Amino acid sequence: MQVRWICGESVFANAYIFGNILVDAGVLPMAVQPYKEEIETIVLTHCHFDHTARVKEIAHMCKAKVAIHTEDALGLLEDTKSLSMHFGARSPGILPDIKLKDGDRVGDLLVIHTPGHTKGSICLWSEKDHVLISGDTVFADGYFGRYDFPGGSRAELARSLDRLSLLDVEGLYAGHGEPTDQGGSRCIAAALGLMKSGYG
């Protein structure tokens, strides 16, 4: 299945459309508006404000349900968890419709719990398409997400990268930067190597 990339503006995260699922909601609602009739579920890869800033407005526009890992659900309400104060803003102020856990499925996507950037960070995996939507866990430039925010953990992030390295990934669609349609496993391997070298 094709992944549609909606490029994040400035410091705000990329969003992706996979079938009837929108992944992350930091982009402007007008960027999502052309797809509003298709979107039934919004899945947030984690609770940081650059990924969740417009979730309330987009969910209303699309009449979509909002899903996030149970460990990050309070980040939609609590400014300290969402880091919204870094953006001069407040958290979205909503509760999710769906609290996810490892192994759940949203449509054709498997939820993989990948803590380290936040406690409830997730990646979304399509084994059939060899596509990984990775949030801020790992990026297509071979780097990994920060772990120095509240709830972050270098040790957990290393374990998460280890787990992702077992997947046969072609398309890697990360929260920031340009995604790649091929060689995603190499990007993950590079990030894992960097982590194991003690960098960061």
Q: Which is nearest to 172 in space by CA: 161, 159, 181?
A: 181
CA 23/CA 42 separation, integer angstroms: 6
* CA angle centred on 122, ends 116 and 126, rounded to 5°: 135
Render the burial of 66-83: b for 16+ CB within 10 Å, e for the rest.
bbbbbbbbbbbeebebbb
Q: What is the pLDDT of residue 198?
A: 84
Q: CATH number of 3-196: 3.40.640.10, 3.60.15.10, 3.30.420.40, 3.40.50.9100?
A: 3.60.15.10
CA 90/CA 82 separation, integer angstroms: 9
DSSP codes, 28-77: -HHHHGGGTTT--EEE-SS--HHHHTTHHHHHHHHT-EEEEEGGGGGGGT
CA 122/CA 116 separation, integer angstroms: 10
Question: What would the two tokens of residue 151 be?
Answer: 């709830």
Question: What would the two tokens of residue 198 be?
Answer: 């003690």
Q: Return per-residue pLDDT of the chain as tens, 200 residues.
A: 899 999 999 999 999 999 999 999 999 999 999 999 999 999 999 999 999 999 999 999 999 999 999 999 999 999 999 999 999 999 999 999 999 999 999 999 999 999 999 999 999 999 999 999 999 999 999 999 999 999 999 999 999 999 999 999 999 999 999 999 999 999 999 999 999 998 77
Q: Which is nearest to 144 in space by CA: 187, 86, 180, 84?
A: 187
Q: Are 47 and 80 in contact (CB under 8 A)?
A: no
Query: At 73, which amino acid appears?
Result: A
